[in-house]
Structure 1
Amino acid sequence: MKKLKIATTQYGLTDIHSEEQFWAGISTKIKEAAEEGSAMVVFPEYMTAHLLSVEPSMLHEEACDYLDQRTEQYIRFFKQQSQERGIAILAGTHICRGVEEEEYENKAFLFFPDGRVETQSKVHLTPEEQIRWPLVAGDALNVFDTEWGKMAILTCYDIEFPELARAAALRGAQLILCPSYTDSKHGYYRVRHCCQARAIENQIFVVLSGLVGALSEDRPQVDQGYCQAGVFTPCDIPFEADGVLQAGEVNANMTVFVEVDYHQLRENRERGAVAPFYDRRPEFYELG
């Protein structure tokens, strides 16, 4: 397996005045990541909801329809950026129509330079997404091959469910991408600590990205974010004791650059002080 240099973003919610300004800002971040030698850049959950700030405030269903109308442009833009820059792009998540015409999904898209696109609909919807948003939950876990090894995408709340990450790891995933949107310290640390727990339990890498900053005018869907993006590892040799490979500055609009070495992950699985991925005893975990 190769080493993988990842750029994971703390994407700043700032006032923008046009859709062109939004796309130009994304293009700049992708260009920066590619010029730094990154093979993959990771953007956060609900990133395209930033576009809502250029329109009058909407109800959630209106917002879903507005974002869905930009799905073709979203796919076309990121495919072109990935191919032109030669970089894989997890383009955050985007609200788009589901199988049924009246349903919407919160879906992550991962674009590869060769034109391939992997997707993952959010499996666990938060109470707000279930009650206020007209969203439906995803019903399948996509574990996909890359040149660096198998990966999976667990969006924000999904990382809080150990069974989902374990299912990905059992199917061979050694890296989980976690695009997130948390608007408070409470939400952020739930996701952050669960990212680290999933890395420890499954002896894998977990990459976290999130929204930061705030808009000057309230939008009921996305108006402020709290995050410290980073890449997390098992808390065991050969990694650092705190399991933090790299992390950004809290709430700064920035990109975190980090290289993950799969040889170190293999060393951890073979010679670590503990082996929670291998020492599990599932026969004792059955619910009575």
Structure 2
Amino acid sequence: MRPFMVAAVQYSLTGITTEAEFWRKITATTQEAAGRGADLIVFPEYMTAHLLGFTEEMDHEAACRYLDSYTDDYMALMQKNSREQGLMILGGTHICKEYGKFFNKAFLFFPDGRIETQSKLHLTPEEQTRWPLAAGDSLNVVETSWGKLAMLTCYDIEFPELARLAADQGAELLLCPSYTDTSFGYYRVRLCAQARAIENQLFVALSGIVGELSEDRPQVDRGYCQAGLFTPCDVPFAEDGILETGELNQDMFVMGELDFSMLRTNREQGLVAPFYDRRPALYQQQENRLLREC
């Protein structure tokens, strides 16, 4: 099987002043990635929140209703681009309403019209207290022609149990659309993404938002990111586990080839084997002991 080409986007909040320009930018970025041979493009968390920059400032609940009103347009554009350009699109995350609740949801579009989704499972303290958002309650491990993948949105990547659960179900690629507005937040997500690649001997693709709106918005106003494609820190990969990274805080996307045969070589012939050498019985035994002592 040929290598899988992935583009991870550093999406800029600058340079756009209308809704029409927003949709055109997404299409242009997708077209450029497809023209360079991408099989998958990964847009960042809260990407559609850029639409808040073109309207009056509003509170978080009103912002959720406003963004949800674009759900049909968002779905139609992403499906059209995926079909016409012939590549999979992780359309960042989009706030939408289901069962009377708002979710921060990732959508993965396939050229044949298939759509897979993943609600964010771990909400940040701000998302729990300021946003009227509900957390997801299940992990979707997605089958593709290249193998299995899972979508872990931003804060989700900071929980090793979740990535391990995906790996145990056969995932060899984690997609991490993120939104971080400070270097602190970025490095938490970035370093955890690399840790998950090492622990589970798989690939991680990280995307994010960069730039700054001309006027502050309480939901999304600025971003800090260096998108990247990460591998285990072991043979046959690079010592630092970095396949590709972008230029910090620049409006761009980074592309690289994911060769799953190399990943399997790593699991079979690497100098260490953290995916196989864990001791769940020992961990459970220690947890039971601590519970008895409490």
Q: What range describes the TM-score normalised by the shorter chain of this pair?
A: over 0.9
Aligned positions of 1:124-135 closer than 5 A: 124-135=122-133
The structure with the largest helix share of the pair is: 2
The alignment status of 1:245 with 2:260, answered yes or no, reads no
CA offset digits 1:182-216 (Å, max 9, x no partner) = 00000000000000000000000000000001111
Name the residue aligned to 1:4. Answer: 4
Name the residue aligned to 2:48. Answer: 48
Name the residue aligned to 1:111. Answer: 109
| CA displacement at 1:98 relative to structure 2 | 2.4
CA offset digits 1:11-34 (Å, max 9, x no partner) = 001142211110001111000000
Contact 1:2 1:262 in 2 (8 A): no
Name the residue aligned to 2:272. Answer: 274
Name the residue aligned to 2:207. Answer: 209
Please state whether the residue corresponding to 2:273 is helix, strand or coil.
coil
Measured in 1, the distance between the counterparts of 2:276 and 2:17 equals: 52
- TM-score, scaled to structure 1: 0.98
Name the residue aligned to 2:254. Answer: 256
Please state whether the residue corresponding to 1:73 is helix, strand or coil.
helix
| CA displacement at 1:3 relative to structure 2 | 1.3
| CA displacement at 1:285 relative to structure 2 | 1.5
Please state whether the residue corresponding to 1:197 is helix, strand or coil.
helix
Pick the aligned partner of 1:167 from 165, 168, 193: 165
CA offset digits 1:72-105 (Å, max 9, x no partner) = 1111110011001101000000000022x2x100
Name the residue aligned to 1:32. Answer: 32
Name the residue aligned to 2:74. Answer: 74
CA offset digits 1:246-265 (Å, max 9, x no partner) = 00011011010111100100
Q: Displaced runs of 4+ in structure 1, greater than 3 A?
A: none
Contact 1:15 1:216 in 2 (8 A): no
Name the residue aligned to 1:146. Answer: 144
Measured in 2, the distance between the counterparts of 1:9 and 1:284 equals: 40
Aligned length: 286
Q: Which runs of 5+ in 1 are unaligned?
A: none
- The AA in structure 2 aligned to 1:58 is M
- TM-score, scaled to structure 2: 0.96
Name the residue aligned to 2:20. Answer: 20
Measured in 1, the distance between the counterparts of 2:282 and 2:94 equals: 39
| CA displacement at 1:2 relative to structure 2 | 3.8
CA offset digits 1:251-284 (Å, max 9, x no partner) = 0110101111001001000000000000000012
- The AA in structure 1 aligned to 2:69 is Q
Measured in 1, the distance between the counterparts of 2:87 and 2:53 equals: 28
CA offset digits 1:204-251 (Å, max 9, x no partner) = 000000000111100000000000001000000000000000000110
Of stretches 11-20 and 69-78 in structure 1, the one that deviates more from structure 2 is 11-20
Contact 1:109 1:117 in 2 (8 A): yes
Contact 1:40 1:88 in 2 (8 A): yes
Name the residue aligned to 1:192. Answer: 190
Measured in 2, the distance between the counterparts of 1:163 and 1:21 equals: 40
Name the residue aligned to 1:96. Answer: 96
Identity of aligned residues (%): 63
- The AA in structure 1 aligned to 2:187 is Y
Name the residue aligned to 1:58. Answer: 58
Measured in 2, the distance between the counterparts of 1:20 and 1:284 equals: 56
Measured in 1, the distance between the counterparts of 2:233 and 2:260 equals: 15
Measured in 1, the distance between the counterparts of 2:9 and 2:18 equals: 22
Contact 1:202 1:276 in 2 (8 A): yes
Measured in 1, the distance between the counterparts of 2:44 and 2:18 equals: 20
Measured in 2, the distance between the counterparts of 1:98 and 1:194 equals: 30
Measured in 2, the distance between the counterparts of 1:2 and 1:98 equals: 38
